[in-house]
Structure formats: C-alpha cells, structure tokens
Amino acid sequence: MTNTPKQVDPLNPRDWSRQPPAYWPDYKTTRARSPQRKLVRLAGSMSETTGPIFNHDDLGANDWDLLTNFAAPGECPIGPRILVHGRVLDEDARPVSGALVECWQANAGGRYRHKNDTYLAPIDPNFGGCGRTLTGIDGTYRFRTVQPGAYPWPNGPNTWRPAHIHFSIFGHSFAHRLITQCYFEGDPFIPHCAIVQSIPSQDAVDGLIARLDLEETIPHDTVAYRFDIVLRGRTATPFENQLEWT
C-alpha cells in the first residue's frame, strides 16, 4: 500500500520538422502576420479553459450534410458529390470522442460564400459551404458535400490553391482549438501551392491529403475520401494556427 502518485507517461513531443514555420517568404501572407519576437506563453483563464461542453443538442439534424443544410427544398448544390470521413485521434492513436469538428470550403466552382470573395466563379444558391458534427465514441466524423474547386489567389502572378476543405477541431473549451485543411489525392496543384511548400516534411504533406476510399463510396451517387486527424505527437497533422493541443 502506497500513496505514491501514479507516474503518467509524458506526451509524445511534437516533431517540429513536420510543422510549417510561422514565416515562409514564398507564402506572402506570413510576411506580415508571423511573430517577429519570441513567443510568450500565457496561462489561460478559467473562462478560456473550461466549457462549453458540446453535445448533440447543439447541432441541427443536417449540420453534417452540406448537400442539404443550405439547399432549397427539393434542390441540391452543383458539383460532384463526395463524402469526407475519418477519425480524430490522439498521439497514441486513441479515438477522441465528443470533439466538435467544423468544416468550410469553396463551392464546386472555387468560390466561397463570403462577401470578400470576388472570384468570378458564380455563387451556388444551394450551397452554404460550412458544416459541423461531433466525433463518435470511436472518434469518427463524416461530412457529405461537393468536391470544392481550385481557385486563384494573390500570392503571385499565376497561383492557384488546390481543392481543399478547412477543418476546425475543438476540445472541451473554445481555447482548445486547432485548424487545418485537407487536400485530395491526385490533385496536380498540390506541389505548386506555396502553403503546401512551407511544410518541410513530405510525410506531413501526405498526412494532409484525403485518400480515395472505394469501400465507403456509394455507387452511382457519392465518392468517398478518408482523412484522419492526429492532434499531437510525432505524427500530428500539420495545423494552421495554434502550436499545441492544450
């Protein structure tokens, strides 16, 4: 009998060789928004590190389904129908349940439903471009949507973003949040994207690519892609904003 506290294995250290630097000159936006001084870690306040706890009562029945959650009755968005699914995992490949996963994307023409998006592709009146869901007990999530289109962006004279979907993963408070994005297997724009080029590890780039999943594909209906998200550790998915899953 002892009162010695149980030793908890430390978290696997983040492999920084997989993560993009805050400043990457070829990615022009980082020139202005990357930190110029050493970062200072601040303790979170009680309101930042506790609550809210998300549950299914906070979600609408069709929040996960971007084919219907903005469409008029009897209508559907234009574009190839796809299912993006996977699991949210911790550093030891254990499922993370009850995590709020949000997504947003451009429509099939490559245009976001946002007032600041002036790309000449048309707005799809039946596509809002955003959704949300909670991970299951086994860490699984899924979104039904349309294949987003590539679009030009002002990083250079002839630069295009690969087709991609943004993901936001919340923990059990608003301060516990990570943002990333997934690309799609076979997209020829991926190696030409300055954002992708900022990721120093090809293995990490591969971790941002959703893979064709024929087993989950619905014949004559919906093509499926699998995209697993690892929150931290040596195989963590590269993220866009915060450096740690706190």
Please write the tens of the pLDDT for every residue from 221-233.
999 999 999 987 6
**Per-residue pLDDT for 16 more than 90?**
no
Say what the pLDDT of residue 10 is. Answer: 52
> What percent of the chain has pLDDT above 70?
89
Give the least confident one: 40-54, 73-87, 90-104, 167-181. 40-54
Which residues, listed in sequence order, are joined to residue 163 by a DSSP beta bridge? none
CB 62 within 8 A of CB 91: no
- pTM for the whole structure: 0.89
**Per-residue pLDDT for 246 more than 90?**
no
Average confidence (pLDDT) over 204-226: 97
Say what the pLDDT of residue 207 is. Answer: 95
Give the chain's domains with CATH numbers: 66-230 (2.60.130.10)
Provide the 3-class DSSP secondary structure of residue 157: coil
Helix (H), strand (E) at residue 146? strand 140-146
Candidate ranges 2-16, 140-154, 222-236; pick with highest mean pLDDT: 140-154
The residues carrying an active-site annotation are: 112, 151, 161, 164, 166
